[in-house]
Amino acid sequence: MDRNEIKTKVIDIIAEQLGADSKTITESTDIANDLGADSLDIAELIIVFEENFDIDIVEEDAQNISTVGQVIDNIEKSLNKGDAE
């Protein structure tokens, strides 16, 4: 899965979960500040990303996610790690 495919899927999931318009979401969108997500929404998003991409996002990485771009980086990293194993 290339970065663009990941990006599209991530934005769709965020829009669906938070009831936001996917067209307004970019890599620099801050999930908490721009989309109004609280800590519970973000914790739930992590679980939904894990399920949709079949990955495990490590706790330290999950704590540091604030923008959509960081989510995509994280998922890309997790997927590549999976390929290497």
Which range touches other proteins (CB under 8 A), out of 3-11, 45-53, 65-73, 76-84? Answer: 45-53
Residues 6+ apart with CB under 8 A from 36: 18
Q: Is 38 a catalytic residue?
A: yes
User: Cβ-count burial of 19 within 10 angstroms (0-12 exposed, 13-18 middle, 19+ buried)?
Assistant: exposed
Q: How far is the CB of 3 from other proteins (least distance, A)?
A: 26
User: Among the options 38, 56, 73, 83, which is catalytic?
Assistant: 38
Task: List contacts with other proteins (CB under 8 A).
Answer: 16-19, 39-41, 43-44, 47, 50-51
